[in-house]
Amino acid sequence: MQIIRRVSPPGGEADEGAEPDARFTFANERTFLAWSRTSLALVVAGLAIAQLLPPFPGVPWGRHLIGTPLILLGSAVAVISYLEWAANQGALRRGQPLRRSLLPRALALTITVITLGATALTPISAARTH
Protein backbone atom coordinates (compact mmCIF):
# COMPACT_ATOMS: atom_id res chain seq x y z
CA MET A 1 0.00 0.00 0.00
CA GLN A 2 2.86 2.30 0.84
CA ILE A 3 4.50 1.61 -2.52
CA ILE A 4 1.25 2.32 -4.37
CA ARG A 5 0.98 5.68 -2.65
CA ARG A 6 4.52 6.61 -3.49
CA VAL A 7 4.17 6.02 -7.23
CA SER A 8 0.92 7.98 -7.43
CA PRO A 9 0.77 11.15 -9.52
CA PRO A 10 2.57 14.24 -8.23
CA GLY A 11 0.78 17.21 -6.73
CA GLY A 12 -0.62 15.43 -3.70
CA GLU A 13 -3.56 13.97 -5.60
CA ALA A 14 -2.93 10.54 -4.17
CA ASP A 15 -4.14 11.48 -0.72
CA GLU A 16 -7.09 13.51 -1.94
CA GLY A 17 -10.51 12.20 -2.92
CA ALA A 18 -11.31 8.62 -3.79
CA GLU A 19 -10.05 6.19 -6.39
CA PRO A 20 -12.16 7.00 -9.48
CA ASP A 21 -14.01 4.50 -11.64
CA ALA A 22 -11.39 2.35 -13.37
CA ARG A 23 -12.98 3.13 -16.74
CA PHE A 24 -12.29 6.85 -16.26
CA THR A 25 -8.73 6.15 -15.23
CA PHE A 26 -8.24 4.00 -18.31
CA ALA A 27 -9.79 6.64 -20.57
CA ASN A 28 -7.47 9.28 -19.08
CA GLU A 29 -4.49 7.04 -19.70
CA ARG A 30 -5.55 6.37 -23.31
CA THR A 31 -5.86 10.10 -23.93
CA PHE A 32 -2.33 10.58 -22.67
CA LEU A 33 -1.09 7.74 -24.89
CA ALA A 34 -2.86 9.21 -27.93
CA TRP A 35 -1.11 12.55 -27.34
CA SER A 36 2.18 10.70 -26.89
CA ARG A 37 1.76 9.14 -30.32
CA THR A 38 0.91 12.56 -31.74
CA SER A 39 4.11 13.99 -30.26
CA LEU A 40 6.17 11.10 -31.66
CA ALA A 41 4.63 11.72 -35.08
CA LEU A 42 5.55 15.44 -34.82
CA VAL A 43 9.15 14.59 -33.86
CA VAL A 44 9.59 12.11 -36.70
CA ALA A 45 7.92 14.50 -39.16
CA GLY A 46 10.34 17.28 -38.14
CA LEU A 47 13.27 14.90 -38.49
CA ALA A 48 12.10 13.72 -41.92
CA ILE A 49 11.56 17.29 -43.18
CA ALA A 50 15.05 18.35 -42.11
CA GLN A 51 16.68 15.23 -43.54
CA LEU A 52 14.67 14.13 -46.56
CA LEU A 53 13.38 17.36 -48.12
CA PRO A 54 15.61 18.69 -50.91
CA PRO A 55 17.19 21.99 -49.78
CA PHE A 56 15.43 25.19 -50.84
CA PRO A 57 17.63 26.93 -53.43
CA GLY A 58 18.97 30.12 -51.88
CA VAL A 59 17.62 29.27 -48.41
CA PRO A 60 19.87 26.52 -47.03
CA TRP A 61 18.38 26.79 -43.50
CA GLY A 62 14.81 26.56 -44.84
CA ARG A 63 14.31 22.89 -44.02
CA HIS A 64 15.49 23.43 -40.46
CA LEU A 65 13.14 26.37 -40.10
CA ILE A 66 10.23 23.96 -40.69
CA GLY A 67 11.63 20.84 -39.02
CA THR A 68 13.01 22.24 -35.75
CA PRO A 69 9.73 23.81 -34.52
CA LEU A 70 7.93 20.52 -35.26
CA ILE A 71 10.40 18.59 -33.08
CA LEU A 72 10.10 21.19 -30.30
CA LEU A 73 6.31 21.06 -30.58
CA GLY A 74 6.51 17.28 -30.25
CA SER A 75 8.38 17.43 -26.95
CA ALA A 76 6.07 20.19 -25.67
CA VAL A 77 3.02 18.04 -26.48
CA ALA A 78 4.57 15.11 -24.58
CA VAL A 79 5.21 17.18 -21.45
CA ILE A 80 1.88 19.05 -21.51
CA SER A 81 -0.08 15.83 -22.07
CA TYR A 82 1.52 14.33 -18.96
CA LEU A 83 0.70 17.43 -16.88
CA GLU A 84 -2.89 17.31 -18.14
CA TRP A 85 -3.10 13.59 -17.35
CA ALA A 86 -2.02 14.30 -13.77
CA ALA A 87 -4.45 17.23 -13.46
CA ASN A 88 -7.32 15.16 -14.90
CA GLN A 89 -6.55 12.25 -12.60
CA GLY A 90 -6.62 14.62 -9.63
CA ALA A 91 -9.92 16.12 -10.80
CA LEU A 92 -11.41 12.63 -11.21
CA ARG A 93 -10.30 11.71 -7.69
CA ARG A 94 -11.92 14.82 -6.24
CA GLY A 95 -15.03 14.49 -8.41
CA GLN A 96 -14.41 17.88 -10.00
CA PRO A 97 -15.08 18.76 -13.65
CA LEU A 98 -12.15 18.26 -15.99
CA ARG A 99 -10.38 21.36 -17.20
CA ARG A 100 -10.48 22.08 -20.89
CA SER A 101 -7.37 20.78 -22.60
CA LEU A 102 -4.83 23.31 -23.81
CA LEU A 103 -3.38 20.98 -26.40
CA PRO A 104 -5.81 21.12 -29.37
CA ARG A 105 -5.61 24.91 -29.59
CA ALA A 106 -1.83 24.99 -29.08
CA LEU A 107 -1.36 22.28 -31.70
CA ALA A 108 -3.61 23.99 -34.26
CA LEU A 109 -1.97 27.38 -33.70
CA THR A 110 1.61 26.12 -33.93
CA ILE A 111 0.94 23.97 -37.00
CA THR A 112 -0.73 26.96 -38.70
CA VAL A 113 2.30 29.17 -38.00
CA ILE A 114 4.70 26.47 -39.24
CA THR A 115 2.60 25.97 -42.39
CA LEU A 116 2.58 29.71 -43.11
CA GLY A 117 6.35 29.78 -42.63
CA ALA A 118 6.75 26.85 -45.02
CA THR A 119 4.51 28.58 -47.57
CA ALA A 120 6.57 31.78 -47.29
CA LEU A 121 9.78 29.86 -48.01
CA THR A 122 8.83 29.10 -51.62
CA PRO A 123 8.66 32.73 -52.85
CA ILE A 124 11.69 33.67 -50.70
CA SER A 125 13.65 30.86 -52.30
CA ALA A 126 12.48 31.94 -55.80
CA ALA A 127 13.40 35.59 -55.12
CA ARG A 128 16.87 34.68 -53.90
CA THR A 129 17.76 32.57 -56.91
CA HIS A 130 16.71 35.18 -59.49
Partner 1 sequence: MTGIADDIEDADPGLAQERTELAWHRTAISFAAVGAAMLKYHVTAGLLVLAVGGAVWRLSRLVRDRGTARASGRRLVVITVTIAGVSVTALAITLLGHGAGGLRP
102 binds partner 1 (CB under 8 A): no
SS3 string, 46-88, reads HHHHHHHCCCECCECCHHHHHHHHHHHHHHHHHHHHHHHHHHH
Residue 91: CA atoms inside 13 Å, Cβ hemisphere, count? 14
69 binds partner 1 (CB under 8 A): no
31 binds partner 1 (CB under 8 A): yes
Least Å distance between CB 107 and partner 1?
A: 15
Dihedrals phi, psi of 99, to nearest 5 degrees? -75, 150
CB atoms near residue 31 (< 10 Å): 16
Residue (32 or 117) nearer to partner 1, CB: 32
Among 29, 57, 105, 126, binds partner 1 (CB under 8 A): 29
| Chain contacts with partner 1 (rule: CB under 8 A) | 3-4, 7-10, 19, 21-34, 36-37, 39-41, 43-44, 46-48, 50-52, 61, 64, 67-68, 71-72, 74-75, 78-79, 81-82, 85-86, 88-89, 92, 98
